[in-house]
Amino acid sequence: MRALIAVGVACAAVLVFGVAPAGATRECEGLTVCVRKVGPWVVVPTSGEVPRRQVEYLLSCPKGYVVGGLDAELSQRAIDVTFIGTLGSPVNPGVSTSRAVVFVASYVGGTASSASFRPHVGCMPSSGGGSRVPTALGAILAGHPTVRHARTVRVRPGSGSVSQSCAAHERLVDAMQAFGFYMRRPPSASLAGSVSGSLAIRGSRAVSQVRGDAEIASVRAVVQVQAVCATTR
């Protein structure tokens, strides 16, 4: 079972940007061996509707590593960032986290033309993580009834589709899309609005119809499509 954990509590801090000086993020703080992974500036919906719309972005460590620390840069303070952790004891890398982590962000301010965050993870060797402590049997224990598949593709000027499907033995239960920009500074409102997409469910596939304006020709813009799939019947 997954749980939402606030970024800034336990594993991470949050920086408001600007641009962070080198070494300002703290995803590797306290880790003896650490490989940093940095995601793109992920566009956060800024509509004032309640409940606030969220965006989810998956960031992975290299093979053989697990997430040991997290951090995030924000384009403004009114962005709430959490991550999805797994139930277990002790709360530790390798127990609460795995090779990949999903950041969840929402804009909680008043009006804004654009908002974005850049996720960071500190990756540690998987042999250094904790292990789950066995629990007495009786009731059904929290497990892993879903698996998340993600596909991240560069967006270029024009239109096209990007899809992510479940495996043959899985069943699609949720889907989402996110747009991001690999650049030093947060994207402007104009640039953030230069990519768009509509998400549709087609059988066991999540399909995003993506459109990019000419403005993205000189930057690396990406779309990530996630499929959350049930592994139980």
**What is the C-alpha separation between 56 and 220, in angstroms, rounded?**
19
Q: Are residues 110 and 166 in the same domain?
A: no
Domain housing 186 = 146-230
**What is the C-alpha separation between 134 and 118, in angstroms, rounded?**
36
Give the pLDDT confidence score for residue 178 in this predicted structure. Answer: 98
Q: Which of 128, 158, 181 is the last residue of a domain?
A: 128
pTM score, whole prediction: 0.85
Q: Are residues 193 and 106 in the same domain?
A: no
Q: Are residues 101 and 154 in the same domain?
A: no
Q: Is residue 137 part of a domain?
A: no
Q: Which two tokens stand for residue 57?
A: 């972005």
> Is the CB of residue 102 less than 8 Å from the CB of residue 57?
yes
Q: Are residues 98 and 12 in the same domain?
A: yes
**Which residue ranges of the chain lie beneath pLDDT 50?**
1, 6, 8-13, 18-20, 22, 128-138
**What is the C-alpha separation between 67 and 119, in angstroms, rounded?**
12
Q: Which two tokens stand for residue 70?
A: 């997290």
Give the pLDDT confidence score for residue 135 in this predicted structure. Answer: 40
Give the pLDDT confidence score for residue 22 in this predicted structure. Answer: 44
Q: Are residues 80 and 165 in the same domain?
A: no
Q: Are residues 117 and 42 in the same domain?
A: yes
Give the pLDDT confidence score for residue 143 in this predicted structure. Answer: 64
Q: Are residues 185 and 218 in the same domain?
A: yes
Q: Are residues 40 and 107 in the same domain?
A: yes
Cβ count within 10 A of residue 204? 15
- Split into its structural domains, the chain has a count of 2
Q: Is residue 135 part of a domain?
A: no
Q: Are residues 82 and 155 in the same domain?
A: no
Q: Are residues 13 and 77 in the same domain?
A: yes
Q: Is residue 139 part of a domain?
A: no
